[in-house]
A and B are shown apart, each in its own frame.
Chain A
Amino acid sequence: MLNIENLHVNVGDKIILKGLNLQIKPGEVHAIMGPNGAGKSTLSHVLSGKAGYTITQGKVTYAGQDLLDMDPELRAREGVFLAFQYPVEIPGVSNIYLLKAALNAIRKHQGLDEVDAMDFLTLVKDKIKLLQMDEKFLYRAVNDGFSGGEKKRNEILQAAILEPKLCILDETDSGLDIDALKVVANGINSLRTEERSFLMITHYQRMLDYIKPDFVHVLADGKIVKSGGPELALELEAKGYQWVEEKVA
């Protein structure tokens, strides 16, 4: 599914990623944890194609293709989805309009016809229940005036409708209270399938109480310094990131 080999990334003159390796197979859930400034968000941005990052070394293969060579919209249409840490507001553009435009762009890429208006409405109403959102959200402008929790739910709603192959969740748990976290986590769990892979980026163990990862990696100073199973997250929670950093040093 996704194969990252020896990835080196700069932002301006600053070196952020220094030889990152990671392999994700279909259906796997990987969690990446790490201290502030380790390069977690950089990784999510580079994978989704955001501008402003220079790749100095390494390669990323996604479903057999050179991911770094693809435009961001092409990556999205090929099934790479990023749930943003800070979802942007788009005043005047209704949520449902964006969802439909995005779904149709992806369907067109797959050689399918545009979605029928009634079918689409049924689909959206079905998914919105899953995230315990009010239907009114569909007709409000994208993230405009949404609370932090509403924005995060909205991201997962988009994933539920666009049905990506690889879901990158960038600190989806940040800014959520415990109830909202449960709803979002349930939404994410319902998206898990044998084929769909997840890359979860988080600071805290608590997200992993609800979404059980297959692998946990610790990202520190631009590299993955330790990998393990879910138990690694618990160990980190108990001992802090300092523990890993010291071991590496």
Chain B
Amino acid sequence: MSTSAQEIENLIAQDYKQGFVTEIEVETFPPGLDEEVIAKLSKIKNEPDFMLEYRLKAFRHWQTMKEPNWAQLNIEPIDYQSISYYSAPKKKGDGPQSLDEVDPELLETYKKLGIPLDEQERLAGVAVDAVFDSVSVATTFKGKLKDAGVIFCPISEALQEHPELVKQYLGTVVPETDNFFAALNAAVFTDGSFVYIPKGVRCPMELSTYFRINAANTGQFERTLIIADADSHVSYLEGCTAPMRDENQLHAAVVELVLMDNAEIKYSTVQNWYPGDENGVGGIYNFVTKRAECRGHNSKVSWTQVETGSAITWKYPSCVLLGDNSIGEFYSVALTNNYQQADTGTKMIHIGKNTRSTIISKGISAGKAQNTYRGLVKVGKGAENARNYTQCDSLLVGDKCGAHTFPYIEVKQPSAQVEHEATTSKISEDQLFFCQQRGLSAEDAVSMIVNGFCKEVFKELPMEFAVEAQALLGISLEGSVG
């Protein structure tokens, strides 16, 4: 009559609503990677010479590296020569100068994804950079932002318009030698967003980038660079989706944030890449390096992520707290279902005095999925009075999934305070029955319990995204009672 343990699992059936393919003429490089491909890529983007040198340096270093294997993940070997490193919708003439000239197919794609780009229907108060496979296809509200002195554009455009800024900051937070996937990204990244907030400016609207993988057999290598100069403030959001395909696709991104004195960046992610089907076929490999460097005193960076997609997620958005009194925060919800795997967490590196960090991680595991929290809290010798609070909660749905927690703590400063709390719980049959006895369907009950579990993280998301994130969990948990 009511819901048994096995049936609870059936409640978490996936219904991936962004799995469609856009039929559009594209220009795609043949699969394979060598120095020639990189040179061609740099040329097609008309990049300044320093970029090609940077890419080649990264590529040469990458060739000496091995894939990392510390994570609690089963990864089928990736053949890097079978991937195409560039795919872009064919440009008509010189490419779109304004939104009116953007291919209607692309506008339609984003509209279907709930991201209207055309003038009449734009999201109020949110500027969007739309990245489609390897290129940015549109950026909204550029004029309004320019008036405020804010630069928000595709990084490829920043390389044309503001090469000195890119050169000054690119690779300074995540060097091209940092790790295997970061090195690969540095060699072949195609597009992403560039943001510069000048001194004393509070960005007048939310900035967001919507990443879409469309082409088959391509990798998406995006690069985002955000610089918040002294006394500035910005809130940035990113969303990601991809079509349903049987092959795994690689997404290896690098995000660098630079914060000067008193600057604040709030970086929110709702990651909903295609997770693969219920048998674990297909899905995106999401291998991402995200790092923020609080260079200035009293600066504050806050990462909030809701990870529901991808076959495999490997990412640890980190904060390097260099400036005295700087603050790092990490709020994460990672939901894995079916055969999805996630190994995610953060690194808080305390270097400056009185630096503080907070980590709130909520992992939800269903089906046969494995969900791992991996986090490092490091307090250097000079980080007097550094403080960290970590809370790691895991929720299991059904009895075939797994939750793992690997906290690493290294403290070299005696005045530091580091706290770690962890819990693991399971949605119980009694909880479900109680909700059903009050008139709720089992699906709604699971969704309500999961949303309740994630509340501390959702309240950190900007309003528009909090609603989307809740709906997303609702969709991921949609299904029928067995």
Contact = CB atoms under 8 A, between A and B. Distances in A.
Interface of A: 48-51, 68, 71-73, 75-77, 81-82, 84, 87-88, 90-94, 97-98, 101-102, 105-106, 109, 141, 158, 162
Contact of B439 (A68, A88, A94, A162): A162
B449 interface: yes
Nearest to B7: A51
Task: Please indicate which of the listed interface residues B436, B456, B481 has the most CB atoms of chain A within 10 Å of its own CB.
Answer: B436
Contacts of B437: 48-49, 72-73, 75-76, 81-82, 84
B124 interface: no
B448 A97 contact: yes
Given A51-B4, A93-B452, A102 B434 contact: no
A84 B2 CA distance: 16
A90 B452 contact: yes
B433 A51 contact: yes
Contacts of A73: 436-437, 439-442
B439 A102 contact: yes
Contacts of B444: 101, 105
A94 B448 CA distance: 10
A17 B444 CA distance: 32
Given A51-B4, A72-B2, A92-B454, 14 more contacts: A49-B436, A51-B433, A72-B433, A73-B442, A76-B439, A84-B437, A92-B451, A92-B453, A93-B451, A101-B448, A102-B435, A105-B438, A158-B438, A162-B439
B244 to A, nearest CB: 32
B420 interface: no
B466 to A, nearest CB: 15
B439 A77 contact: yes
Interface stretch (B99-107, B139-147, B341-349, B423-431): B423-431
Contact of B438 (A50, A98, A141): A98
Nearest to A104: B439
Interface of B: 1-4, 425, 428-431, 433-442, 444, 448-449, 451-456, 481
A51 B2 contact: yes
18 contacts: A48-B437, A49-B1, A49-B437, A51-B433, A71-B2, A81-B437, A87-B434, A88-B428, A92-B451, A92-B455, A93-B448, A101-B438, A102-B435, A102-B440, A105-B438, A141-B452, A162-B438, A162-B439
Given A88-B430, A88-B431, A90-B431, A109 B449 contact: no
Contacts of B436: 49, 71-73, 76
Nearest to B428: A88
Across the A-B interface, the 6 shortest Cβ-Cβ residue pairs: A92-B452, A93-B452, A102-B438, A105-B439, A76-B439, A72-B436
Contacts of A97: 448, 452
A53 to B, nearest CB: 8
Given A72-B2, A101-B448, A90 B434 contact: yes
B80 to A, nearest CB: 42
A51 B449 CA distance: 20
A90 B149 CA distance: 48
Contacts of A91: 425, 452-453
B33 to A, nearest CB: 46
Given A91-B453, A98-B435, A49 B448 contact: no
A73 B428 CA distance: 17
Contacts of A77: 439
A98 B452 CA distance: 10
B171 to A, nearest CB: 41
A97 B448 CA distance: 9
A200 B448 CA distance: 30
Contacts of B425: 91
A82 B441 CA distance: 16
A162 B1 CA distance: 22
Contacts of A102: 435, 438-440
A75 to B, nearest CB: 8
Nearest to B427: A90
A105 B437 CA distance: 11
A70 B429 CA distance: 18
A141 B435 CA distance: 14
